[in-house]
Amino acid sequence: MFCYRYRPFNQLSIKELIYDEIYFASGEESNDPYEGKVFFEFEQDKDSWMRLLSSAWNGIPAAVIKEYIDIFSEYLTNISPITFDEVQNDSFIECINKFHLSSQGEACFILVKLLKNYVAMYKPSKRYFVSFTKENDNYLMWSHYANKHRGYCLIFNTQDGYIFQSPSNEKTSIKRDSVVAACGNKFKMREVVYGLSGTTNNAFLCFPKSVSGKVFENEEERLEYCKKLEQPYLEKAKCWEYEKETRLILPALSPWLCSEAEFSNYERLFHYNSTQLVGLILGARLSEDEKKEIKKIIRHKVNNWWTKIDKKEQPSIPGFVLFEAALSEKSRNVEINPIEIYIGDDVVLKKDCKGFDEVYEKWKDGKCLKISETLIQETIVK
């Protein structure tokens, strides 16, 4: 399955192209202000609120807890349902005034702060993502994400729905002191769903059993719950539907595991398997010098496939097709035209070369070119 990634032409994107980089962005770096918005809600459940407060105030003298826990739980139940973000809001501390405890305001302030910190620890952990799309000729996408058609579009061929890391540059885990977040050697391509108002689930289930009172009956139920934690990163408003987005997701560490749960920019930078980048579309407004620069990079990348592989162990390689986008003269459409096929060992098939159409048709089917000892034949194999 082909998927596409629009890029502007700049130093950062060229660096990504040269070194096979993908960067997992955060919701804050997205152009959608609701990206990753968590819609989990605390229900009107006084018993659950009391258990949560008891855990949040663990270590506070029992006499203090006894004095405040019923008042706080009653108030929290009355204002429920509320979200994680509402509990984290600075105005949440206004509950002190509602209790008319001005003489003991400092104690209330401390208790509210402990509650907010505890809730923050169990808020569903942040996810990072890399965005792709199913379309390579979307007029708006070229405008919004490829610098008004002055950029380019990468073409990836997923393997069984996955983008694999570079075998020579894998990052299979991220460490925080004694905590290790496993990344694996591949990332699954996930489809974004449009038109939903937001996932609402019981926020108490994000906490330990001592708070939620929930025991999963089986592994299937537990896995279904884990899927819900990722849903905010796979749902977008209907107005974004034109993007037809698919994405890779990288979960951050949970705050309850370590104090520095978020990943740095460097930790979110990965290297994909170079042979999964099988094509590139030059934007309609790229300059000739910019096109030449990209072509040099492509030739170098494909030649590397040829020089690094063991021709006996791996007797075939994917071809790399270069396209040009053109703005139609007859309608407001983007036309995508193949112009060159890079095979390796400095072999380039031009559009007017014999066999170009045959090779291109096989490339569209995800097939590879057979390799001999000294040259790349124009024989197509599965």
The angle formed by the CA atoms of residues 334, 340 and 346, to the nearest 5 degrees, is: 150
Mean pLDDT of 30-46: 87
Whether residue 49 sits in one domain with residue 28: no
Q: Is the dihedral of CA 36, 38, 39, 40 positive or negative?
A: positive
Neighbours of 366 (CB within 10 A): 14
Two tokens, residue 255? 């705050």
pLDDT of residue 348: 84
Whether residue 154 sits in one domain with residue 86: no
Are 381 and 370 in contact by the 8 Å Cβ rule? The answer is yes
The answer to whether residue 373 sits within a structural domain is yes
CA distances from 226 to 179, 201, 231, 251, 327 (A): 20, 12, 9, 12, 44
Two tokens, residue 169? 């540059």
Whether the predicted pLDDT of 11 surpasses 70: yes
Are 282 and 325 in contact by the 8 Å Cβ rule? The answer is yes
Whether residue 331 sits in one domain with residue 220: no
Q: pLDDT tens, 171-189?
A: 988 888 778 888 889 999 9
Whether residue 96 sits in one domain with residue 112: yes
Whether residue 252 sits in one domain with residue 172: yes
The answer to whether residue 278 sits within a structural domain is no
- Report the phi/psi class of residue 20: left, alpha or beta, with left for phi > 0 and alpha for psi in -120 to 50: left
Whether residue 132 sits in one domain with residue 106: no
The answer to whether residue 282 sits within a structural domain is no
Alpha-carbon span 189 to 132, nearest angstrom: 9
Whether residue 108 sits in one domain with residue 29: no
Whether the predicted pLDDT of 321 surpasses 80: yes
- The residue that leads in pLDDT, 257 or 179, is 179
Give pTM, 2 decimals: 0.85
Two tokens, residue 1? 């399955």
Of 68, 101, 122, the domain-final residue: 122
Please report the beta strands in 244-357, taking only residues with DSSP state E, as ranges in sequence order. 245-251, 269-271, 277-282, 316-318, 320-327, 334-344, 347-350
Of 98, 122, 146, the domain-final residue: 122
Q: Residue 55 is part of which domain span? A: 41-122
The answer to whether residue 152 sits within a structural domain is yes
% helix / strand / coil in the chain, to the nearest 5? Answer: 40, 25, 35
The answer to whether residue 204 sits within a structural domain is yes
Of 92, 122, 152, the domain-final residue: 122
- The total domain count for the chain is 3
The answer to whether residue 279 sits within a structural domain is no
Two tokens, residue 25? 């962005």
Whether residue 339 sits in one domain with residue 190: no
Residues 6+ apart with CB under 8 A from 182: 172, 173
Whether residue 248 sits in one domain with residue 172: yes
The answer to whether residue 262 sits within a structural domain is yes
Whether the predicted pLDDT of 71 surpasses 80: yes
Q: Is the dihedral of CA 61, 63, 67, 72 positive or negative?
A: positive
Q: pLDDT tens, 224-233?
A: 777 777 788 8
Whether the predicted pLDDT of 101 surpasses 60: no
The angle formed by the CA atoms of residues 242, 243 and 244, to the nearest 5 degrees, is: 95
Alpha-carbon span 83 to 101, nearest angstrom: 25
Are 248 and 176 in contact by the 8 Å Cβ rule? The answer is no
Residues 6+ apart with CB under 8 A from 152: 6, 7, 9, 13, 146, 280, 281, 282, 283, 286, 294
The answer to whether residue 281 sits within a structural domain is no
Are 112 and 88 in contact by the 8 Å Cβ rule? The answer is no
